[in-house]
Structure 1
Amino acid sequence: MTAPAAAGFWQRYAAWSLDAALVAAPVLLFGWRRLATGGPRIAEAFAGLADAVATAMLDALAAPGAVLTAWLQLTADPRLQAGAGALTDAIVAALGPQLAAFVVLGLLYHVACEAAPWQATLGKRVLGLRVADAAGQRASPARALLRHLAGALSWLTLNLGHLLAALPPQRRALHDRIAGAMVLQAGAAASRPPRWARAWIAAQAVAGAAAALWLLAAMQAVLQAAVERALG
């Protein structure tokens, strides 16, 4: 029988994204009404901030004296502060409860599954992965919990902590190293995920790029309209 090998980076990402989708599904289902009503409020607050930015910029350009000084004073403009506060409040009201539910549900899901006899979430099981301690044995609930909580550090390092999982031979992310854990793959290490997993990752990349382009176009349209209103 072939000994388990360290799981590759893309296998781990495919498993994580599947699990994230599973956890997000009930959160979105039960929080859809709040998101539906919060979306227009966020758009309205952003439009208000754009109006404040455009008006403040025109005032700075028309102000006598050093232009640079006027521009530096924009950050202290009460109109901008009020607009930014309104946008922040709208975002928190619409997304805050859903994000909190996603975090709590994700913690319970990952810790319970990875400390169980099968040592894996559903996403990891589909990819043939399992979480183990440094000796390759089943991780305790405390170790699984520490690993999940330490994952915040991998995110806070701008994903550099996650990228450590791409470095052979151990392929351990930052949170794996902190918790004394590892992610193993049954059999010989695969050079890349299976075809369906590659298609899943590609679909995420396409959807992410499309969403980013749509968001940029929408923001540009709002800002342009704000400038036109400021110009009268």
Structure 2
Amino acid sequence: MEYAGFWRRFWAYLIDCLIVGVANAIFISAKMPYAVLFIGWLYYALMESSNTQATVGKMALGLYVTDLNGNKIGFGRATGRYFGKIISSIILCIGFMMAGWTAKKQALHDMMAGTLVLKRI
């Protein structure tokens, strides 16, 4: 297993933010503002628990999400990972930065969900 480092994960996240942002803008302009509460969660949880094991941003950068044994994660674990990002962000984004210095390149939300982000070889 080759762990994905901070910068590769960062660029993948920016791609995903762009996709989710466009989707949010479409739903807001369609007078469905409450849909934005679900778009990000469903995008990340459905994509990372799918057979690709990755969001569009992760796929573009050759990354995928697994459990600690390298297996595909389910929707529940992907949901936990998504909501764990709230904690990673509210502590000055230090939870995200942890991917730059932990042994397995895990961010705080990865540790909480028991997941890894790996490079496709």
TM-score > 0.5, shorter chain as reference? yes
2:112 is equivalent to residue 178 of structure 1: yes
2:68 is equivalent to residue 104 of structure 1: no
Alignment-derived partner of residue 61 in structure 2: 127
Report which of the two structures shows the higher radius of gyration computed on alpha carbons: 1
- The percentage of aligned residue pairs carrying the same residue is 33
| Equivalent residues of 2:27, 2:36 under 8 A apart | no
1:32 Cα deviation from its structure 2 partner: 4.4
Q: Partner of 1:163: helix, strand, or coil?
A: helix
Q: Which amino acid aligns with 1:13?
A: F
What stretches of structure 1 of length at least 5 have no aligned partner? 35-96, 188-232
Structure richer in helix, relative to its length: 1
Alignment-derived partner of residue 67 in structure 1: none
Please show how residues 86-165 of structure 1 align to structure 2 within 5 Å: 98=33, 101-165=35-99
What stretches of structure 2 of length at least 5 have no aligned partner? none
Q: Partner of 1:132: helix, strand, or coil?
A: strand
Q: Partner of 2:118: helix, strand, or coil?
A: strand
| Runs of 4+ in structure 1 over 4 Å off | none
Number of residue pairs matched? 121
* TM norm structure 1: 0.49
1:102 Cα deviation from its structure 2 partner: 3.3
1:168 Cα deviation from its structure 2 partner: 4.4
| Equivalent residues of 1:24, 1:102 under 8 A apart | no
Mapped to 2, the partners of 1:109 and 1:145 lie a distance apart of 10
